[in-house]
Amino acid sequence: MTISQSNALTRRRMGRLAVATCLTAMLASCSLSLPGTGEPPRIFVLSPKSTFDENIPVVDWQLLIDAPIAAAGLNTSRIALRQSQIELEYYANAAWTDAAPKMIQRLVIESFENSGKIVSVGRQAVGLRADFILATELREFQAEYEGKGDNEPPDIRIRFNAKLVKMPQRSIVASKTYDYLLPAPGTDLVSVVLGYDAALGKILKRLVAWAIDEGEKFHDG
């Protein structure tokens, strides 16, 4: 092999090595931005109510529960927060077990079941017969930091409207809005979620009693 041939071979080898090095660097940089490689979110769940006033009547009619309607910003599994009146944000790496309206629908159904005061309660679905439908709207569901200091816990705001619809007439016979603003017990994320649980629990307890009392007034049985 001549010197010129040896030099050409060396240059080709060096060229292939440079290309391989560049490809390796590119793949390494790409792997840093691949989706799904970050820390998974913490998943949180809220609890249904299980204790109720004894004076709630026992009823023999059937109730179906609609999933609450909600604006797009709240129709998500992300946990919402607000630091100003004009912007809705979300906690990083944290989520509910389901989109907030579906999670609340399940909690409402379980709370009615736990009361032991109603013969049948379930999700709104085609083909199911009911005496009443509970139509709801989730209007506020966030932690609020506006006006709070760095070491102060946020307030939890939940505003929830319920309408009791008599079937088959589909007429609204009662309507109620619940609006709670309660301080979270602490600044950490678990304390914030406990604040959500306490505020929603107050609504669930009152919602069950109100819907059963109102339904009994308008039931034809």
Clarify whether residues 54 and 29 are in a common domain.
no
Same domain, 102 and 206: yes
Give pLDDT tens digits along the chain (221 positions): 554 444 444 455 544 544 444 434 443 444 333 444 567 899 999 999 999 999 999 999 999 999 999 999 999 999 999 999 999 999 999 999 999 999 999 999 999 999 999 989 998 765 678 999 999 999 999 999 999 988 999 999 999 999 999 999 999 999 999 999 999 999 999 999 999 999 999 999 999 999 999 999 999 86
What phi and psi values does residue 113 have, to the nearest 5 degrees? -60, -40
Number of domains in the chain: 2
- CATH code: domain of residue 134: 3.40.50.10610
For residue 16, what pLDDT is reported? 52
Q: Are residues 27 and 60 in the same domain?
A: no
For residues 11 and 114, state if they share a domain: no
96 plus 201 within the same structural domain = yes
Specify whether 55 is located in the same domain as 25.
Answer: no
Same domain, 88 and 107: yes
- Say whether both 48 and 72 belong to one domain: yes
- Regarding whether 205 and 124 lie in a shared domain, the answer is yes
pLDDT on residue 173 = 98
Residues 150 and 100 in one domain: yes
pLDDT of residue 2: 52
Same domain, 63 and 26: no
Predicted TM-score of the model (pTM): 0.81
Pair (79, 176) in one structural domain: yes
Q: Give residue 7's domain range.
A: 1-34
